[in-house]
Amino acid sequence: MLLENYLNNFIVLFSVVDPIGVAWLFGAMTHGTPRREQRQMAIRATLFASGILLLFLLTGTRLLDWFGITIPAFRIAGGALLFLLSIDMVFARHSGLRSTTTTERDEALHKHDVSIFPLAFPLLAGPGAITTILLMTSGSTGWIPWSALLVVVTVIVSTLIVLLFTPALIRGLGETGANVISRILGLLLAALAVQYMVDGVTAVLTR
């Protein structure tokens, strides 16, 4: 049961963060930048993104209690939000939940260091990832949800590895390959998002 819960949470967060898709954007934004600087930006971005996600991981349930939001209500809303994101992933469209606006992308292309913005936020630790973190911690007890913490660490480490090998990844997959992987992840995310909503509705109806 613990392994199944871990795998479900890992698939959701990994799909939302979408390291393959982010690596493609990272490669475009840092084109012509020396490899050493690219690696430094990748490390800074993942460290900053992990800080954001860990902050919400540790304060998640207390944050919901503060606003008087019930767990079932947040599961329904969060599931709907992630479902919308999954549709954008399946159709290879940019989503406001984990991407930037045209103006923000133009600004990023002219910046020397894109590690904090837009790489760490909103590409890695955007609203979609934060929502996922809150959903993961919504049923946990205790100050530190260890299972969710393990998921975050695993996803962040996986993302860092992907970003460090961005040039090789772009050469090997190309844009079409990256979109295919994003579509597959989007399909998995859609199914899990629906399950979140079903669990939320079931909890409301059985009260």
Domain tally for the chain? Answer: 1
Residues 83/193, Cβ–Cβ less than 8 Å: yes
Is the predicted pLDDT of residue 103 greater than 70, yes or no? no
Q: Is 5 buried (19+), middle (13-18) or exposed (0-12) by CB count in 10 A? A: middle
- pLDDT tens digit string along 3-43? 888 999 999 999 999 999 899 889 988 888 899 999 999 99
Q: What integer pLDDT is reported at residue 54 of this predicted model?
A: 95
Residue 139: band (very low, low, confident or very high) from pLDDT cuts 50, 70, 90: low
pLDDT (mean) for 137-148: 76
Domain extent at residue 189? 2-205
Q: How confident is the model at residue 176 (pLDDT cuts 50, 70, 90)?
A: confident
Cα–Cα distances (Å) from 182 to 16, 141, 199, in that order, read 10, 33, 25
What is the mean pLDDT of the segment spanning 186-198?
Answer: 92
Helices (H), 91-165: 102-109, 127-137, 146-164
**Model pTM?**
0.82
pLDDT at 154: 98
Structure tokens at 3: 């392994």
Looking at 53-57, 91-95, 173-177, which range is the least confident one? 91-95
| Count, residues in the chain | 207
